[in-house]
Structure 1
Amino acid sequence: MAHTVRPRKRSHPNNQDDTPDAKRRWMTPIPVSSPAVMWIDGNDAENPPRPPRRETRLTLEEAANVQPGERPVRVYSDGIYDLFHQGHARALMQAKAAFPNVYLLVGICSDELTHKLKGRTVMTAAQRYDAVSHCRYVDEIVPNAPWVLDDEFLDKHRIDFVAHDALPYASPGVEDGYKSIKDAGMFLATQRTQGISTSDLICQIVRDYDDYVRRNLARGYTRQELNVGFMKEKEIKMKDRLGKLKKKITEMPAKAQEKWTKFEDKSYEMLDKWENKSRDFIHGFLRMFSRDGAISGILKSGKEFVRDAFDAIKSPEREEEEDNVPEDETNSSTPSPSTSYSD
């Protein structure tokens, strides 16, 4: 059930009208809705009810004339929705506003299917379901959505139209996963928001990697939680201290700043040497365990030593046999069993 929260003041566009009527207009309560319902397979008792099947497929003209209070047009939009952002929200807004009366279902693919066909996600499936469910345009979440829609899925959820951007999306075995939907006249094209995507957000994080590591280390996260090596942690912390010190130095006289510049250059030179030494140490450590490395040589020598030790030990039976061998056979060129090993 919808409810309201405490009024939040909104700034007037020209900051001039301070009359009581104007204040009432700009301090209106903001409505808050409950999260979208979640469809769960096999849980028919609690799932949102499905309307009866339509006798004929709804056309675009008919859908445009469906008014509030009548049976809504069921529009379906699907995606991954990783790091849910304004581009996703605007696409769902377009789907919701496609007709006067729309019930918007949003299908979200599982981790297993997404990682297999597209790649790793930042958020888990449960996190993505929950994030999209709080978008005000969404009426229902359909988890574990299929990669390609078929007639059975469309009929099960009583879908009238499918909303997505018009670009062809290649899927296993097909050039465009939405081709059958387009051919059936059920496709609603939405516009992508330029300048924002999940890939763009990830690029921003990767680009400013050190800054975010420094930020989270300062907030109490450990290097293990951030998957940062020991040397990298020390390097980032030292750069952070140098940055703070540099900020203080800029407020000092020119002579002090000159000394600081020399110190800073030496500090970064030391960091570079430190990083190079650590890299050399790691490579040297790995080379020790290579096929021709020192560890392999030690293991090989150890095996030969053990083998020779066993060769040198003669069992009582073998010694007795050798004592009973005639002298002419002993002087023959045929080697005895105890000396049959060769390197």
Structure 2
Amino acid sequence: MTRKPRKRLIGQQRLEEVLDIVLQEEVEEVEELEDEDEELEEAPAVPPSRFEPLPCPAPEESNGVEQRPVRVYADGIYDLFHFGHARSLEQAKKLFPNTYLLVGCCSDALTHKYKGKTVMYEAERYESLRHCKWVDEVIPDAPWVISQEFLDKHQIDYVAHDALPYADASGAGKDVYDFVKKAGRFKETKRTDGVSTSDLIMRIIKDYNEYVMRNLARGYTRKELGVSYVKEKQLRVNMGISKLRQKVKEQQDRVGRKLDIVARRAGLHQGEWVENADRWVSGFLEKFEESCHFMEKAIKMQLQKGLLRPQLKKQRPNKLLTNREPSSFITKKTATSMA
């Protein structure tokens, strides 16, 4: 009668040993696969679309003038210089077999007055253009509206730009290129869809918090980033909680895969095992997420208390002074006169 329990204990121990061995093997295998997945994820992301080369216009004849190259002028702000700018300059450069491309760039004062604030300073924008291989000469402090005097000064034969009318914010006309269009000295270039300085700025604004946290982690101070003390603390708390939730989600997927592997190796009924495992894991995660929620609220409350405490200290002396009645202030002079 006493041997049966021993046999059962021995059988259970062997089963547990087998399960431990199988679990250890599968855990190692899963970790190896996860390491491979992480290596693949670290590879650079594939761009969402491929930008095909824009069709450049067929080079035009230079009207028999071979003693000098055709001087073509293009202008703009060129803030956050990107490949859309470079592609438009490439088209301008390839208008004629022998083209000398001059590129005018407006100053900060002129741009801020008529268009708005730029990200890059004028010197940075000039230097960006100088490093573009299609540009032969950069004209700094270019005029907002082209005049005949400007064309004659730089011996410009043609002006290259896209054909969209650009309203003259200075009030001189409805289109800054109207003068050269009427004179027959305008050459059209095509814009690149999907990229512009405004689009790049919008991407940064959309993920503003992430970029702020990245720069704080790299050593920038909140003053350099223009972030208040309260905003910095809120960002750090929110980013920490987001990382914690992401870890919980990854752990949930990892545990589910490992339990499924153990069930298959142990020969257990897969449906029953998975159902129980899901219930166990879900119950644990519900409790864990509930704790995270309470922890998040507690952290925010402590943060608010810490921020309000200095303000209350500053306000307390002022309240004491305003709440006192005038009769309570008795000087030595009034006391002696009363006596």
Does TM, scored on the shorter chain, surpass 0.5?
A: yes
Partner in structure 2 of residue 114 of structure 1: 111
The alignment partner of 1:154 has SS state of: helix
CA distance in 2, matches of 1:279, 1:189: 58
The alignment partner of 1:225 has SS state of: helix
Partner in structure 2 of residue 260 of structure 1: 288
Q: Percent identity?
A: 51
Conserved? CA contact 1:66–1:99, under 8 Å = no
The alignment partner of 2:62 has SS state of: helix
Partner in structure 2 of residue 164 of structure 1: 161
Correspondence list, 1:211-290, <5 A: 211-249=210-248, 250-251=250-251, 253=255, 254=281, 255-270=283-298
CA RMSD of aligned residues (A): 3.3
Correspondence list, 1:1-343, <5 A: 62-63=61-62, 70-171=67-168, 172-173=170-171, 174-249=173-248, 250-251=250-251, 253=255, 254=281, 255-270=283-298
CA distance in 2, matches of 1:227, 1:147: 32
- Aligned-pair distance for 1:265? 2.6
- Report which of the two has the higher share of helix: 2
Q: Deviations over 1:216-249 (max 9, x none)?
A: 1111111111001111111111222223333333
CA distance in 2, matches of 1:280, 1:162: 61
Which consecutive residues of structure 2, in runs of 5 or more, have no partner in the other structure? 1-58, 256-280, 335-339
Between 215-224 and 265-274, report the one with greater CA deviation.
265-274
Conserved? CA contact 2:61–2:96, under 8 Å = no
- Aligned-pair distance for 1:168? 1.1
Give TM-score, length-normalised by structure 1: 0.60
Partner in structure 2 of residue 53 of structure 1: none
The alignment partner of 2:73 has SS state of: strand
Between 263-272 and 137-146, report the one with greater CA deviation.
263-272
Q: Deviations over 1:7-66 (max 9, x none)?
A: xxxxxxxxxxxxxxxxxxxxxxxxxxxxxxxxxxxxxxxxxxxxxxxxxxxxx9642766
CA distance in 1, matches of 2:158, 2:311: 58
Over 3 Å counting, the alpha-carbon distance change for 1:277 and 1:162 in structure 2 is: farther
The alignment partner of 1:224 has SS state of: helix
CA distance in 2, matches of 1:279, 1:122: 33
**How many pairs were matched up?**
234
Higher relative contact order (Cα pairs below 8 Å, separated by 6+ residues): 2
Amino acid at match of 1:127: E
Which consecutive residues of structure 1, in runs of 5 or more, have no partner in the other structure? 1-59, 289-293, 303-308, 313-343
Over 3 Å counting, the alpha-carbon distance change for 1:215 and 1:62 in structure 2 is: same
